[in-house]
Amino acid sequence: MPVVVTDIERADADVAAAMARLGVATVHEAQGRTGLMHQRLRPIYKGAAISGTAVTCTLPPGDNWMIHVAVEQCQPGDILVAATISESHSGYFGELLGTSLKARGVRGLILDAGCRDIRELEELGFPVWSRSISAHGTVKETLGDVNVPVSCGDEIVRPGDVIVADDDGVVVVPRQDAAKVKAASEARLAKEEASRARYQAGELGLDVNDMRGRLAAKGLVYMTQAEWKART
Amino acid sequence: MPVVVTDIERADADVAAAMARLGVATVHEAQGRTGLMHQRLRPIYKGAAISGTAVTCTLPPGDNWMIHVAVEQCQPGDILVAATISESHSGYFGELLGTSLKARGVRGLILDAGCRDIRELEELGFPVWSRSISAHGTVKETLGDVNVPVSCGDEIVRPGDVIVADDDGVVVVPRQDAAKVKAASEARLAKEEASRARYQAGELGLDVNDMRGRLAAKGLVYMTQAEWKART
Amino acid sequence: MPVVVTDIERADADVAAAMARLGVATVHEAQGRTGLMHQRLRPIYKGAAISGTAVTCTLPPGDNWMIHVAVEQCQPGDILVAATISESHSGYFGELLGTSLKARGVRGLILDAGCRDIRELEELGFPVWSRSISAHGTVKETLGDVNVPVSCGDEIVRPGDVIVADDDGVVVVPRQDAAKVKAASEARLAKEEASRARYQAGELGLDVNDMRGRLAAKGLVYMTQAEWKART
Amino acid sequence: MPVVVTDIERADADVAAAMARLGVATVHEAQGRTGLMHQRLRPIYKGAAISGTAVTCTLPPGDNWMIHVAVEQCQPGDILVAATISESHSGYFGELLGTSLKARGVRGLILDAGCRDIRELEELGFPVWSRSISAHGTVKETLGDVNVPVSCGDEIVRPGDVIVADDDGVVVVPRQDAAKVKAASEARLAKEEASRARYQAGELGLDVNDMRGRLAAKGLVYMTQAEWKART
Amino acid sequence: MPVVVTDIERADADVAAAMARLGVATVHEAQGRTGLMHQRLRPIYKGAAISGTAVTCTLPPGDNWMIHVAVEQCQPGDILVAATISESHSGYFGELLGTSLKARGVRGLILDAGCRDIRELEELGFPVWSRSISAHGTVKETLGDVNVPVSCGDEIVRPGDVIVADDDGVVVVPRQDAAKVKAASEARLAKEEASRARYQAGELGLDVNDMRGRLAAKGLVYMTQAEWKART
Amino acid sequence: MPVVVTDIERADADVAAAMARLGVATVHEAQGRTGLMHQRLRPIYKGAAISGTAVTCTLPPGDNWMIHVAVEQCQPGDILVAATISESHSGYFGELLGTSLKARGVRGLILDAGCRDIRELEELGFPVWSRSISAHGTVKETLGDVNVPVSCGDEIVRPGDVIVADDDGVVVVPRQDAAKVKAASEARLAKEEASRARYQAGELGLDVNDMRGRLAAKGLVYMTQAEWKART
């Protein structure tokens, strides 16, 4: 039975909003290298960086009806996550739906299928991460679900989770972990800032990270070209 | 026997030229969601939007000789459509051929294979929609055909058909349908203009398109999180 | 036994540096259409064009430790070539390593795997040609080799070879052939310059390249639409 | 924090065992066309058809350590579902682990990555559905989770759910729906049996499914070749 | 307007039937290396080799309704060619439709999309060449065309053309060329028979095809390992 | 300058012949998980397992001339390794060339491109590992090299190296390492034999490999379903 769940619990809005600045790579590292969607999800234009709370929906092949249903469930600060139940490259989303979502304060769309009107969406300033770019139109015949857990980009997204998306891809942070992951991300960034200064000054990662002893212990051997040729 | 057909009948030049403004997504919808090439055909640079009449050719694997032959058959306002007869990723087309086609008034190239010199082609302002970007050179040893029907991007293109290409992809409109499809596209755009205003004002697609009754009839159920959990 | 070869012989620095201007397509043609890497290697941002001498390394799946080791072997004017020993899409390289390589005067990275921090790398001005864009982090557990011959992008790269990379892709020039290929590339460009003027003036490739006789000899037939329809 | 959940609740064993006979296509239809994994998951040999209860694990890139951990959590009648957290094609599973799982009464493996020793696994009679066939070895350095919900083949699998796999692919049935889906599948098969007899007797789907009126209502037109040519 | 053309002209039935024995590779060579469909079309089981006359249809994404319509237009000796108008991997075809087509004397199906029930289809002896194997079900909501020219597997197929399919793939022979291509294929096979005897006796292709002079003229050089190393 | 090197040094014939029995997975592990070709190289039929000494050649796109040249350089016990210099899916190899190589005692072909006549090659008993199956014919116009180092399947192969190929894929063993790798493979097999008995008896990999302490040290936690739910 297709359902729309209407009263999902969202991650804290301020925490969710703050994650965009931290970046996908950092957030994914800070939660133990989990939650990163498959690299097939790419931004339709470069430079967007967003974060917000997930509203989810599932889409039958070539059918975008449930996006219309999902729009109504969105609030300002949300990001819509639209998963398909079978690989599909039709253009499920375009400028009119982008206009509608933007009018509701939605920050962007994660779409594991095709997107169209990409120039218009860039002009509108409504970012989409999609699997393909395709103009092929969709029908409105078959139901799916809104605000149930979905598998999008090979990751589980539950309604209310935090989504972070930028030029590196898309990561999902479980709702209940959001504050903890935000703090861990900030700590990681601070540490990287310190390392960056050392790298800029010409120090090597081998020394910044104290790797030489462990490399030798694993058996790494340095040799001259002449020595190498003698072996082979 | 490889042939060059020399006197193809083209769609009306004004109709063909006017379609670029209507856009690939709209034109494809207006002719019943047909004619859209596969999404593997992508522009080598963003922002180009063209339309014109098709001159066609077929290309053997790794051999671009017939492009030279096809250039002579092109007129101002044409778009060259180059299909391969076997998947190939060589770089069949570059800046010199782009210079030649531009000098003849050709508006762009649809190439179901690889393209090279992409920076130079952008500087020249000659847009190409291609399957890959590859510098690998081609030979000139084997013949193909010019101005016969071809299968390009999984669509049939007949000489003189209208081609429309932009950031969303490439669509072909049969020559004899051009005027009718142009009119239908304009009607569709006008209707979308009206819808857009309603979406911008915050109306939902559910209401703009009067979907609620049909969703209920199909069995869509709204419930709370608590009700949903009780089911699962 | 994993090894680091420390005293590789590099191609002449001036020759290596001069190739960027010649371009990937020209260089690849000038050495007999060899040395071009697979088109899956794409620049993470458009407009970069570099050339330099190769430092090589191999990478185990999901493990970027050897990049740290390879950095130390790099000199100003080098390009790092990082090959994987199994298809992998993790994000082996990001902004910190980019900062480190840039601080050493390295001109860019060829990475047959995933790259992350792509916006930061563009801001830093450190170009990367990679197989994918992925934020997924890597570990530092398993050794590989530095400065041995590697297979990267389906091409053999030996330490000290010349790498040329631009928007068209990546080509490798064997160290001992560098001067000869540079000269042949320049000759080719000069010849193309002459052809370009003729193409701009509206001459056809059929005439610029004197192809008509050979086309006829191969059996190409020109006919009218009416004649063609009579055949089919 | 990586966890192993030790006391999962499984679907009824008899229900789970009975689904193999019903087949993936039927089961997926009977639960509303949901739950089907992506077609990239293919059997390493033809002819196997299994069903059972899911034990799940997640795998870091190129690291199969958690399969060893998961084996201990398996019981007779289970199917192991191994999801990766990043696209990976290493050979995570081979004959020794197959011997171990078979010794525990496990019926098969769903592996969203690479598999090796495929001839030995066929001889052993231990079926695997995998993303690729690759001999590349894996390490044992990084933890993942066992018996948490995972995204495998673009579908969510929860521990204890029913997995059905045959030559058509893999489908997951939520634990709490298993009995209902089994019944619906059996009803569907009975109905198909009746239809099959009519098809064998030469009746058309148009009549068996009473489609002619609806086709006409949608606007389908029958015409002769001559009429069709007059239109185009 | 969706149409069904009812009175297509078919290639000669005896000629069409005889081509299976000649094989895809030979037929494709005999008509000038044209007509071969893309290699993505693979048989769902090995060993089938068929030929016959094409009945064509187009399929909307995820919608197999038109296959039911097309069945009625099929006669004994036909092969159904089902093209999609957008990339789709749903399972458009299974055992019931296979039973129906077989009951009408149809020899097989070429399907540029997904197929299911592959074990049952093999048991039934009804061969399918498809793009993917997927159990995902389809709807019956949107019309397409039957017996119009289609683009299937990157090739144009016109109703009544001859289709030949075996383990090497699928080739289409234009209706009006069928007799000529059959004769050319037989001549080619006879010639190959003679060559085969010479190859079996240990003669080299260099001599059987008299290639040595042309290789030398193109500049091929034979040298010893020592000479080669001196060059590099 | 295209060259044929005529007097390559081969690995010991007995060592090369003995490796087939050891298997691709074992050999690749025994040499430190290196040398495994990309999983895109798949056998055209199941069950073949070969090893032998490499004769190499490079192939221009869509041109198989150099295979004819390479045949003459082959001896009994060799395996031909044919690399392309650009991605290509044409059918470079079929039954006649298979007959010729078999007549010379060659054990099989590794072909990083398309293969045809696959049923005939299976009947002949001449195994091929290829990138695709495609009947598309090739020309004989452009030269390549024979018996130089090549990049095939993303691995470097030097003439005289040992090739091992079976249902798991293809691995290359450098000529000078062959005896050492054979010995290491045999040792590995002996060790696996001992492990297999323990697995068959129901022992767990956790105990056979003494992993429990290290898992705990890395932080793996066992918990009940109730404890897990309390965390999330």
In order, the DSSP letters of C47-99 are T--EEEEEEEEEE-TTB-HHHHHHHHH--TTEEEEEEESS-B-SEEE-HHHHH
Whether A5 and B223 lie within 8 Å, measured CB to CB = yes
Given this model, what pLDDT does residue C231 score? 80
Average pLDDT, stretch D57-86?
97
Instruction: With CB atoms and an 8 Å threshold, state whether D99 touches F200.
Output: yes
Residue D214's pLDDT is 97
- Residue-wise pLDDT for B99-131, tens only, equals 999 999 999 999 999 999 999 999 999 999 999
For residue F37, which phi and psi values (nearest 5 degrees)?
-70, 160
- The bridge status of strand A150-152 relative to strand A155-157 is antiparallel
What is the number of other CB atoms lying within 10 angstroms of the CB of residue D6? Answer: 15
> Distance between CA atoms of F9 and F177, rounded to whole angstroms?
14
- D199 pLDDT band, cuts 50/70/90, is very high
- C-alpha E28 chain-centroid distance: 9
Is C16 strand, coil or helix? helix
Q: What was the ipTM of the complex prediction?
A: 0.96
Mean pLDDT of A20-39: 97
Q: How confident is the model at residue E231 (pLDDT cuts 50, 70, 90)?
A: confident
Output the six-digit token pair for B69: 């032959």
Length of chain D as a residue count: 232
Do the strands F78-84 and F109-115 form a parallel or antiparallel pair, or are they unpaired? Answer: parallel
* F68's tokens: 């004819």
Question: What was the pLDDT predicted at E1?
Answer: 83
Interchain contact, D88 vs C61, CB within 8 Å? yes
Taking a contact as any Cβ pair under 8 Å apart, which residues of chain A between 14 and 33 contact chain C? 23-25, 28-29, 33
What is the average pLDDT across A120-129? 98
Residue A92 pLDDT level (bands cut at 50, 70, 90) = very high
C-beta of residue D50 within 8 angstroms of C-beta of residue D20: yes
Per CB-CB distance under 8 Å, the chain A contacts of C134 are 36, 39, 168-169
Range B77-102 burial, b when 16+ CB lie within 10 A, else e: bbbbbbbbbbbbbbbbbbbbbbbbbb
Chain F contact for C3, CB < 8 A? no
**Closest Cβ–Cβ partner in B85, B136, B142 for F139:** B142
The pair of three-digit structure tokens given for residue A63, joined into one six-digit string:
């059918």
CA A153 and chain centroid, separation:
9
What mean pLDDT is reported for chain C? 97
Chain F residues with CB-CB distance to D1 below 8 A: 219, 221
pLDDT tens, residue by residue, B47-70: 999 999 999 999 999 999 999 999
Q: How far apart are CA C49 and CA A217, in angstroms?
A: 40
* C-beta atoms of F119 and E47 within 8 A: yes
Q: Work out the percent of chain F whose per-residue pLDDT is above 70.
A: 100
In this predicted structure, what is the pLDDT of residue E104?
Answer: 96
| Interface chains of chain A (3 or more CB pairs under 8 Å) | B, C, D, E, F
Length of chain E: 232
As a whole number of angstroms, the distance between CA D84 and CA D150 comes to 9
- Grade residue D231 by pLDDT with cuts at 50, 70 and 90: confident
Put simply, the answer to whether D156 touches A156 (Cβ < 8 Å) is yes
CA A59 to CA A92: how far, in whole Å?
9
Provide the percentage of residues in chain C whose pLDDT is more than 90: 98
Between helix F95-103 and helix E178-200 the angle, nearest 10°, is 0
* CB < 8 Å to A39, chain C: 89, 114, 132-134, 136
F95 touching chain D per CB within 8 A: no
Contact C132 A171 (CB under 8 A): no
Distance of alpha carbon A228 from alpha carbon D92, whole angstroms:
32
Closest CA to E156 of B56, A47, F56, D122: B56
B46/E contact by beta carbon, under 8 A: no
For every residue of C90-135, DSSP letters joined together read SEEE-HHHHHHHHHTT---EEEEEEE--HHHHHHHT--EEEEEE--
B96 at C interface, C-beta within 8 A: yes
Question: Would residue E11 be called left, alpha or beta, if left means φ above 0 and alpha means ψ between -120 and 50 degrees?
Answer: beta
Q: Mention every residue, 6+ apart, whose C-beta is less than 8 A from residue B162.
A: B11, B15, B16, B19, B51, B52, B53, B54, B172, B173, B175, B178, B181
The torsion defined by the Cα of B180, B183, B187 and B189, in degrees rounded to 10, comes to 110
Asked if residue E217 has pLDDT above 80, the reply is yes
- Judged by a CB distance cut-off of 8 A, whether residue C174 touches chain E is yes
User: Considering only CA atoms, which of D120, D118, D114 is closest in space to residue D132?
Assistant: D114
- In B, minimum Cα distance to E2 occurs at B32
Distance from CA of F40 to the nearest CA of D (A): 9
- pLDDT tier, C1 (very low <50, low <70, confident <90, very high otherwise): confident
pLDDT surpassing 80 at residue F180: yes
Q: What is the Cα–Cα distance from F144 to B33, expressed in whole angstroms?
A: 46
Please give the Cα distance from B129 to B114 (Å, whole number). Answer: 10
Q: Å from E45 to nearest chain A CA?
A: 23
Chain A partners of E90 at a C-beta cutoff of 8 Å?
61, 86
Average pLDDT over residues A20-42: 97
Asked if the Cβ–Cβ distance from F4 to E169 is below 8 Å, we say: no
Alpha-carbon distances of C202 from B70, B157, C8, C205, E60, rounded to whole Å: 14, 27, 50, 9, 44
pLDDT reported for residue D172: 98
pLDDT at D26: 98
Pairing of strands D155-157, D150-152: antiparallel
The tokens describing E93, both together, are 């075809």
Q: E47-100, pLDDT tens digit by residue?
A: 999 999 999 999 999 999 999 999 999 999 999 999 999 999 999 999 999 999
Set of chain C residues whose Cβ sits within 8 Å of the Cβ of B96 = 192, 195-196, 199, 205
List all chains that touch chain B, counting a touch as 3 or more CB pairs closer than 8 Å.
A, C, D, E, F
Instruction: For residue range A143-152, list pLDDT tens digits in order.
Output: 999 999 999 9
- E99 and chain B in contact, CB less than 8 A: no
Q: What is the mean pLDDT of residues D71-85?
A: 98
**Can you read off the two tokens belonging to residue D181?**
């889906």
Q: Is the pLDDT of residue C232 over 90?
A: no
Q: Is C232 on the interface with E (CB under 8 A)?
A: yes
Residue of C63, C88, C115, C132 to mutate for D, most D C-beta atoms under 10 A:
C88
pLDDT in tens, E128-175: 999 999 999 999 999 999 999 999 999 999 999 999 999 999 999 999
Distance (Å, whole) CA F22 – CA C26:
46
Find, in chain A, the residue whose alpha carbon is nearest to that of C72: A204
Task: Provide the 3-class DSSP secondary structure of residue D122.
Answer: helix
Contacts of E2 in chain D (CB under 8 A): 218-221
To the nearest whole angstrom, how far is the Cα of A175 from the nearest Cα of chain F?
9
Query: Helix, strand or coil for residue E204?
Result: coil
Residue E172 and residue E56: Cα distance in Å, rounded? 12
Q: Which of E88, E139, E142 sits opposite A88 (nearest CB)?
A: E88
Q: Read off the pLDDT band of A105 (50, 70, 90).
A: very high
What does the alpha-carbon distance between residue C57 and residue C71 come to, in Å, rounded to a whole number? 10
**CB–CB contact F63 B62 (8 Å):** yes
Tell me whether strands F3-5 and E221-223 are parallel, antiparallel or unpaired.
parallel
**Tens digit of each residue's pLDDT (9 = 90 or more) over D115-155:** 999 999 999 999 999 999 999 999 999 999 999 999 999 99
Q: Which of C88, C134, C139 sits opposite D142 (nearest CB)?
A: C139
> Residue A160: which of A62, A59, A71, A80 has the closest Cα?
A80
Give C140→chain D minimum CA distance, Å: 10
Question: What does the pLDDT read at residue E94?
Answer: 97
Write down the mean pLDDT value for chain E.
97
Domain A13-176: CATH class, spelled out: alpha beta
Q: Which residues of B52-76 are buried (b: 16+ CB within 10 A; e: fewer)?
A: bbbbbbbbbbbbbbbbbbbbbbbee
Nearest-5° angle of CA E112, CA E116, CA E121? 100
Q: What is the pLDDT, as a whole number, of residue E196?
A: 95
Please give, rounded to a whole number of angstroms, the shortest distance from the CA of B200 to a CA of chain E. 30
DSSP 3-state assignment of D43? strand
- pLDDT tens digit sequence for C119-177: 999 999 999 999 999 999 999 999 999 999 999 999 999 999 999 999 999 999 999 99
Averaged pLDDT for residues F19-48: 97
For residues D62 and C140, the answer to whether their CB atoms sit within 8 Å is no
pLDDT score of A1: 83
Instruction: Say if CB E158 and CB E57 are below 8 A apart.
Output: no
Distance (Å, whole) CA E123 – CA C208: 61
C25: nearest CB among B7, B99, B116:
B116
Q: Sketch the domain layout of chain A as residue ranges.
A: 13-176, 187-231
pLDDT score of A19 more than 90 = yes
Q: Is E28 exposed, middle or buried (0-12, 13-18, 19+ CB in 10 A)?
A: buried
Interface of E with F in 150-169 (CB under 8 A): 166-169
Kindly state the average pLDDT of the residues A91-118. Answer: 98
- pLDDT tens-digit series, residues C142-158: 999 999 999 999 999 99
B133 at F interface, C-beta within 8 A = no
A176 lies within 8 A of chain F by CB: yes
CA-derived radius of gyration, chain C: 22
